[in-house]
């Protein structure tokens, strides 16, 4: 009789030379590029797409060198990247679907490339491994490049206000002091039991100050500098570089601290200290990103291979099922772990040599390994999960319907000029910027109300070529620019100093009046200002003679005082001439 | 929309969204950058480890979203026989049977996809055989 037998269940097996043990008769031995997609179902692993490309902050933005973090923050996402060209690390604020970026004003730009919202470190001497966490709506970032002593930063305000500068937290001193020889570097931060924890090490060169793998903590609401507190350390040995804390993660109710060769469990704060328990004295964490929390477990990669800890339990080996694969992994300090909640899998992205970068996934619901997948092909520096928020069903607000058009510049003087344009959307505001020609150094002059289609610049410098540009702003979205074009370029007038009048004299004296006379310079259209000083005091304008006039009568004088007079030409659009005079007259003597 | 997993490139500026599309953007395998499913099973020994059977077929059921191209390799007593390939268009549940005749004690199967225009969801892998002698 023909009999049948099923190679099942598909979801029962282990993969990659797993120990068959008992009860695996016919089960899956090896499932490359597979994910468990349901009860007894295996599907092909899906692919990937490029979501966004991060750029630097240069005038002509270039792609950064390395993406160091991408992950959730508030209702969106943040990313951190390093550029070897600028030696800077940048912070990006992105939407949850990574379809664009926000600037410091909170304005969103939909784009396949992202501009940074802030520079978080400058003058870096190496690629930073960053650790990012969120506590009470605030973003905390630490990194591992020791050349920057200010290793821990955070925006001083909540996520809604990225316009503030990023401020250093605990610039130095694991003991809480701001100065001293025990400057500390913070490699990571994590929020646990309403406290922010930072881990780092002393930077001194002596046994007393260097290589101190101390944990520090502080609690809200003060959110002050990290304090050494009660000296939570890994295991019971300190001041040893080998026990420097590598990473930390949450497993249910417990905080798990991993050093290179130790794992310590922190379970809560007692009367005056944190409860801790050494879990492993031989194998710790292999790298700062080798661990990930999934449910009540913390999964991590030790030097023996993958392990996991459930809550307050002990470490549980997962490596015994995939010994052949573990033997192929190199550069274990670069391992990145991530949890994909949609597929219930913890993914370890590992380097298997020869340019292959491989995903090996553990299905947390069914407790089986899948893969190793043939290769991912790209070295991954970070991985994380972002939960897109539910968008309103209403249509998103629209931006300007068009850009401004038809630029012209009128009324160009020595210090003023008027920009004119035709509005592309009369309901939108207009932002106008000005720069010296060919410098590209535009600065926003003002943002005008809807419907305004001209603006007069003031306070310009003489004889300088300028150019302006305008764009509309509506609902937080910008139109493209109008300008700089020929019509938006202009050069302010040069300074024109008028020739002064000459031959000032006084005549026609009476008891209380005098006549002031001068000879006009010949400048066309000039008026003449008459300035007077009383008894040696300062001169002040007393009257202006009309165009062509060469004399003025000053009245109301005191017959016992001495007066001084001087005159100058003035004309609109030109600089006044120098003064002619002074000439003085003593009213008591007539001389 | 559920959670989305992102990877950050170590030697570049790109951020990848994982779990969408068909291709592996980082690596071309042969002439294709598609991910291909590749499953090996552990052996079955229906007449015990020293029994005797004539194995007749490997039977595979699966669901495809846009056609399929799969290969089935019977492995009898640890020796792989010729791979048999099956192609088809359409969507929905599909069944294929790779017939062969080979005497042996143990049977395993390798099932893999050879080309990919859509998704494949593997549902069942089974075998048929004539039992010759059982021991014990």
Q: List, as one string, the DSSP characters of A209-223.
A: TBS---EEEE-TTT-
Interface test with B, best of A11, A12, A21, A26 (most B CBs within 10 A): A26
- Which of B21, B126, B129 is facing A47, going by the closest CB pair? B21
- How confident is the model at residue A202, as a pLDDT? 59
- How confident is the model at residue A219, as a pLDDT? 47
Q: What is the pLDDT of residues A302-349, one digit of tens each?
A: 999 999 999 888 999 988 878 878 888 988 988 999 998 888 889 898
A405-491 shares its CATH topology with A502-586: yes
- How confident is the model at residue A164, as a pLDDT? 62
For residue A455, what are the contacts with CB-CB under 8 A and spacing of at least 6? A418, A419, A432, A445, A446, A448
Q: What is the pLDDT of residues A265-290, one digit of tens each?
A: 888 766 666 677 888 888 889 988 89
- How confident is the model at residue A158, as a pLDDT? 46
Tell the residue number behind the tokens 């019977």, with chain if given: B74
pLDDT at B63 over 80: yes
Nearest partner of A171 among A160, A190, A161, A184, judged by Cα: A184
For residue A373, what are the contacts with CB-CB under 8 A and spacing of at least 6? A32, A33, A45, A358, A359, A360, A361, B35
Quote the CATH superfamily of domain B36-133: Galactose-binding domain-like (2.60.120.260)
Residue B33 to residue B41: CA distance in whole angstroms = 25
For residue A488, give the DSSP letter.
G
- Which of A343, A375, A380 is facing B9, going by the closest CB pair? A380
CB of A345 within 8 A of CB of A368?
no
Q: What is the pLDDT of residues A52-64, one digit of tens each?
A: 999 999 989 999 9
Residues of chain B contacting residue A9, judged by C-beta atoms under 8 Å apart = none
Interface test with A, best of B6, B12, B64, B101 (most A CBs within 10 A): B6
The upper half-sphere exposure of residue A235, i.e. CA atoms within 13 Å in the direction of its Cβ, equals: 21
* Average pLDDT for A158-163: 55
Interface test with B, best of A5, A6, A7, A352 (most B CBs within 10 A): A7
Tell me, yes or no, if B52 comes closer than 8 A to chain A by beta carbon.
no
Please tell me the total number of residues recorded for chain A in this structure: 591
Subunit contact A386:B6, Cβ cutoff 8 A: yes
Question: β-pairing, A291-294 with A274-280?
Answer: unpaired
pLDDT at A85 over 80: yes
Nearest partner of A93 among A83, B13, A75, A82, judged by Cα: A75
Q: What is the pLDDT confidence band of residue A134, given thresholds at 50, 70 and 90?
A: confident
Q: What is the pLDDT confidence band of residue A135, given thresholds at 50, 70 and 90?
A: low
Q: What is the pLDDT confidence band of residue A153, given thresholds at 50, 70 and 90?
A: low
CB of A179 within 8 A of CB of A145?
no
* Bigger pLDDT: A12 vs A510: A510
pLDDT at A20 over 60: no
For residue B86, what are the contacts with CB-CB under 8 A and spacing of at least 6? B68, B69, B70, B71, B72, B96, B98
* Average pLDDT for A162-173: 55
- How confident is the model at residue A169, as a pLDDT? 56
Quote the CATH superfamily of domain A405-491: Immunoglobulins (2.60.40.10)
Rounded to 5°, angle at Cα A65 from B34 and A376? 20
pLDDT at B118 over 90: no
Q: What is the pLDDT confidence band of residue A144, given thresholds at 50, 70 and 90?
A: low
Q: List, as one string, the DSSP characters of A102-121.
A: E-TT--EEE-SEE--SEEEE
Q: Where are the domains of chain A?
A: 60-232, 244-390, 405-491, 502-586
Subunit contact A33:B37, Cβ cutoff 8 A: yes
Share of chain A above pLDDT 90, in %: 23
**Under CATH, to which class is A502-586 assigned?**
mainly beta
* Average pLDDT for A88-104: 89
Question: β-pairing, A48-54 with B14-18?
Answer: antiparallel
Tell me, yes or no, if B122 comes closer than 8 A to chain A by beta carbon.
yes
- Which of A30, A64, A377 is facing B24, going by the closest CB pair? A377
- How confident is the model at residue A576, as a pLDDT? 85
* Average pLDDT for A519-547: 88
Q: Is A438 exposed, middle or buried (CB count within 10 Å of its CB: 0-12, 13-18, 19+)? A: exposed
Does the complex come out with an ipTM higher than 0.90?
no
Residues of chain A contacting residue B1, judged by C-beta atoms under 8 Å apart = 97, 388, 390
For residue B38, give the DSSP letter.
E
- How confident is the model at residue A243, as a pLDDT? 63
Q: How far is A449 from chain B (nearest CA, A)?
A: 39
């Amino acid at each position: 009789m023909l009999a049948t037998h099923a190679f099942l269940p598909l979801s029962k097996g282990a993969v990659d030379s797993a120990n068959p043990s008992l009860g695996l008769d016919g089960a899956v031995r090896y499932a490359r590029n597979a994910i468990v997609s349901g009860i007894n179902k295996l599907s092909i692993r899906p692919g990937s797409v490029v979501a966004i490309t991060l750029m630097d902050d240069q005038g002509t933005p270039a792609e950064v060198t390395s993406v160091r973090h991408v992950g959730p923050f508030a209702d969106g996402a943040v990313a951190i990247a390093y550029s070897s060209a600028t030696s800077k690390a940048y912070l990006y604020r992105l939407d949850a679907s990574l379809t664009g970026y926000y600037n410091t004003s909170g304005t969103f730009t939909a784009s396949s490339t992202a501009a940074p919202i802030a520079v978080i470190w400058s003058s870096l001497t190496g690629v930073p491994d960053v650790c990012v966490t969120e506590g009470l709506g605030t973003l905390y970032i630490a990194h591992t490049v020791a050349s920057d002593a200010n290793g821990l930063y955070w925006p001083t305000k909540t996520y809604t206000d990225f316009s503030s500068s990023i401020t250093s937290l605990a610039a130095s001193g694991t003991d809480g002091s701001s100065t001293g020889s025990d400057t500390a570097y913070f490699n990571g931060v994590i929020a646990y039991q309403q406290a922010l924890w930072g881990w780092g090490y002393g930077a001194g060169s002596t046994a007393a100050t260097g290589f101190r793998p101390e944990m520090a903590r502080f609690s809200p609401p003060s959110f002050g500098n990290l304090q050494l507190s009660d000296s939570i350390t890994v295991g019971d040995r300190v001041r040893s570089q080998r026990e420097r804390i590598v990473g930390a993660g949450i497993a249910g109710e417990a905080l798990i601290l991993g050093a290179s060769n130790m794992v310590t469990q922190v379970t809560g704060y007692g009367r005056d200290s944190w409860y801790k328990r050494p879990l492993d004295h031989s194998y710790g964490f292999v790298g700062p990103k080798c661990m990930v929390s999934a449910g009540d477990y913390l999964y991590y990669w030790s030097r023996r291979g993958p392990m996991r800890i459930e809550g307050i339990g002990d470490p549980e080996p997962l490596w015994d099922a995939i010994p052949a694969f573990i033997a192929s992994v190199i550069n274990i300090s670069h391992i990145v772990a991530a949890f994909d909640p949609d597929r219930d899998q913890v993914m370890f992205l590992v380097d298997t040599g020869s340019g292959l970068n491989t995903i090996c996934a553990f299905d947390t619901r069914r407790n089986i390994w899948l893969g190793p997948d043939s290769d991912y092909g790209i070295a991954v520096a970070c991985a994380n999960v972002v939960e897109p928020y539910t968008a309103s069903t209403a249509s998103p607000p629209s931006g300007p319907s068009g850009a401004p058009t038809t630029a012209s510049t009128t009324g160009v003087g020595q210090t003023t000029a008027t920009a004119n344009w035709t509005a592309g959307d009369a309901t939108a505001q207009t932002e106008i910027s000005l720069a010296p020609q060919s410098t590209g150094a535009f600065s926003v002059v003002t943002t005008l109300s809807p419907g305004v289609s001209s603006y007069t610049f003031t306070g310009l410098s003489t004889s300088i070529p300028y150019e302006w540009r305008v764009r509309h702003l509506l609902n937080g979205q910008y139109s493209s620019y109008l300008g700089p074009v020929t019509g938006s370029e202009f050069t302010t007038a040069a300074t024109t100093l008028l020739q002064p009048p000459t031959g000032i004299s006084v005549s026609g004296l009476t008891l209380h009046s005098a006549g002031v006379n001068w000879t006009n310079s010949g400048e066309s259209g000039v008026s003449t200002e008459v300035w007077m000083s009383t008894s040696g005091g300062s001169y002040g304008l007393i009257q202006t003679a009309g165009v062509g006039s060469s004399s003025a009568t000053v009245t109301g004088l005191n017959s016992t005082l001495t007066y001084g007079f001087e005159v100058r030409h003035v004309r609109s659009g030109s600089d006044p001439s120098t003064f002619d005079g002074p000439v003085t007259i003593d009213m008591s003597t007539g001389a | 929309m559920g959670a989305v997993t992102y990877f950050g490139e170590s030697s570049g500026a790109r951020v990848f969204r994982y779990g969408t599309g068909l291709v592996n953007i980082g690596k071309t395998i042969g002439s294709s950058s598609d991910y291909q499913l590749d499953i090996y099973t552990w052996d079955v020994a229906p007449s015990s480890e020293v029994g005797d059977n004539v194995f007749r077929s490997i039977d595979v059921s699966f669901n495809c979203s846009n056609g399929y191209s799969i290969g089935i390799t019977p492995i009898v007593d640890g020796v792989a026989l010729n791979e048999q390939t099956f192609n088809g268009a359409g969507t929905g549940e599909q069944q294929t049977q790779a017939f062969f005749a080979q005497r042996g004690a143990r049977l395993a199967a390798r099932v893999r996809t050879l080309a990919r225009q859509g998704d494949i969801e593997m549902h069942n892998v089974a075998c048929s055989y004539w039992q010759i002698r059982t021991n014990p």
